[in-house]
Structure 1
Amino acid sequence: MQDVIEKLKTLQDILSERYRIEQELKNIPKSLSTKTELLTRLKKQYIEKNEEYEGTRTRIRDIKTRMDEAERDREHYEQQMAEIKTQREYEALDKEIREAGEREQQLRKELQREERGLEEMKHSLEREELMISEQEKELEEEQSRIESESDKKRKQIDALKSQADDVTPGMEEGLLFKFDRIIRSKEGEGIVPLRKGVCSGCNMILPRQFVNDVRSAEAIHFCPYCSKIVFYVEDDQASPDDDAEGLMDVLDDDATGGLADLIDEDDSFVDEEDLIDDLDSPLAPRDEDDEDDDEDEDDDTLVADDDEADVDEDDDDVDEVDEDSDDDLDEEEEEEENE
């Protein structure tokens, strides 16, 4: 089977080169068609301008004819001036002479304008004729070059076909048919190596069992993703398990770390007594909830003090009442004794 793989590699080079040349041969007429279209467009423009040129020449002939008629009319009216007898006839004839003269001058100006345009079109047509002539010459040279190049490429294709025929004997027709279609559809690549469990044609990781089957080289295997033929390539830097799993690179866990690695073990231990001292310290940061609790406690203390003050005042009032009562009793006893 390894012999078949080597033949397929050789056949791939032959077929890819052959199809590349065939594509170039197919694209050759495109450059020729571009020049042909350019020549056709130039000829069309030349025909249109030539028709316009001929139309201008026709208008010039017509203007000259009308101008000659106006000139003859003017001369005829001038000759009749000697034969007029009345003022009315003179005025009418003078009007005809002036109109004929104005018409003659107008036609003369129009003739000059048309002749200038005709001269410009003549020069333009001469340039067009020169361009057409040069383009036809280039087209002929291009056709000769293309024919020569096409013959050369056809000979190269025939030689490649002969080389392919020397490689294919003994190979299955079905395999050759599939391989030919793959080469055509995959831009000249039909057989690719399988490295570390990954198809190098589509860079997809392949199943373990499939990789083992390819490695055994007992049959021809096609990549299930890109349909290309795959063959196993030994890699000294990778283990068989890595090849089967399709692992490209494995990072060392010791080379990576987290934020916990930045904390020292000694610094992570906190003494309980130090923590209590820190909390009791007036410089220790306190939360807003703690401050609110302290304010509530202060308010309760003030209320209690006010209540105690009120109780003391009531006791003083009671003592004063008792003293007054005792004084009254003493006075009554003294009065009774005196009696």
Structure 2
Amino acid sequence: MVIDHLSEVFDLVEVRGQLSGAFAVRGRWVTQGAVRSPLKLTVMVRGRCRLSTDGLDEPVALESGDVAVLTGRSWLRAEGGTGGIGDGPPVEFTPEPDEYALRVNGGDFAVDDVVLGGRVDLNPAGAALLTQSLPPVALVRASDAAAPTLRACVDRLVEEVTDDRPGAAFAVRQHAQLLLLEVLRAYLDRAEPPPGWLRALTDDRLRPALTLMHGDPGRPWGLAELARAAAMSRTSFAVRFRAAAGVPPLTYLNTWRMLLARRALRDDDVRIGALAAQLGYTSESAFSTAFKREVGEAPLRYRQRLRGVSS
């Protein structure tokens, strides 16, 4: 049930994992650049490196099979390989947008460092939700319990990147999506995320209440009814929910309704008054006011902008 809720949220916020760069190299190397996406992944397929970014007091070491997830960072630098001062400057790799071909520098994949870089594309609502739910740098180690599944996902991705088979671009996108999911699963298995959506969705005590809100968002849920579903007192439920989600239950419910509204306005032709009723608002005006407060523009204007319609 947790994964069902997580999948539901991922669909609404349009989470899309993308492989953004890859290289294999022999000898010393360095890569650095600006981070322009809310979530950035670095996968150390083989070898080792030292990774630096804003917000870290000192670089973190990545070994074979480790993955680093950077949240809301502005720059990234990684350096690795072997060699001494007399071996000349390190090979520098400059990330190219959407370039996933595995660049090789005179190497053999069996012995060289192999690095995959990825990013997570999100709509604005998704960026806000996921960046508040993950630490600035989340590490998933090859020694973690979920490592075998994660490793299998990485290996399939490397195969598609290196074999140059028909349909590789499509396959890379699909495997990058699965890689993102496996990384998040592995992280959630070994660490408690900060207060936010991911933490709330993995709280077993809150699951019955979340199931009610997600399953019937248009119902006027009250705190007492949600607390009963979780077999807790109103006070205990309210305290636990806020500690996990970072917001009170009814604020969470309103945000969930707004996510559903965004998707409906983007993808469906439902009338705004009918949508307001579906989501539990007493009038189109009340819904429009709530939507504008949450999103920053009126529902009709939001739909027109996303569909490229002149007002």
Q: What TM-score do the two structures reach when normalised by structure 1?
A: 0.19
Structure number with the higher strand fraction is: 2
Q: What TM-score do the two structures reach when normalised by structure 2?
A: 0.20
